[in-house]
């Protein structure tokens, strides 16, 4: 089998996923508070602070969404497929996990996707014969 994307992914446990989601909630809450402050007290400093926290919230949201996809792949809910920003999101997830002091464990994709890919191939051959 040939993969166009990355060969290894970061192991996302249920505890890790909860921590990432909680961090996302905190960052979203901060961004919302900064946005309110911007409208209450319209200064250039508050506008810049609001913009910076909005960007941080978007970045964290993308990273947490990517970790959700990885979590589903590991639990065989969805098959692995290469994403456009795999390498960028992978590196951003590593940075975030280091920032939050979450231990990082890397696992092979082959062990996760072989069964799913074989199942899909079998289903495709069944529909051709019918």
User: Where do the domains of the chain lie?
Assistant: 8-129
49-108 per-position pLDDT tens digit: 999 999 999 999 999 999 999 999 999 898 888 888 888 999 999 999 999 999 999 988
| CA proximity to 7, closest of 111, 108, 76 | 108
Task: Classify 101 as helix, strand or coil.
Answer: coil
Using one digit for the tens of pLDDT, what is the confidence trace for 39-51? Answer: 998 899 999 999 9
Which SS3 state, helix, strand or coil, does residue 59 take?
helix
pTM of the model: 0.77
């Amino acid at each position: 089998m040939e993969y166009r994307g990355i060969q290894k992914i970061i192991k996302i446990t249920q505890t890790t996923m909860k921590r990432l989601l909680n961090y996302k909630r905190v960052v979203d809450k901060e961004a919302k508070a900064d946005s309110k402050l911007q409208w209450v007290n319209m200064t250039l400093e508050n506008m810049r602070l609001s913009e910076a926290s909005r960007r941080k919230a978007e970045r964290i949201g993308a990273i947490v969404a990517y970790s959700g996809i990885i979590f589903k792949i590991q639990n065989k809910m969805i098959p692995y497929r290469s994403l456009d920003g795999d390498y960028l999101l992978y590196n951003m997830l590593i940075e975030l996990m280091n920032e939050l002091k979450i231990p990082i464990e890397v696992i092979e994709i082959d062990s996760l996707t072989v069964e799913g890919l074989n199942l899909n191939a079998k289903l495709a051959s069944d529909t051709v014969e019918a």
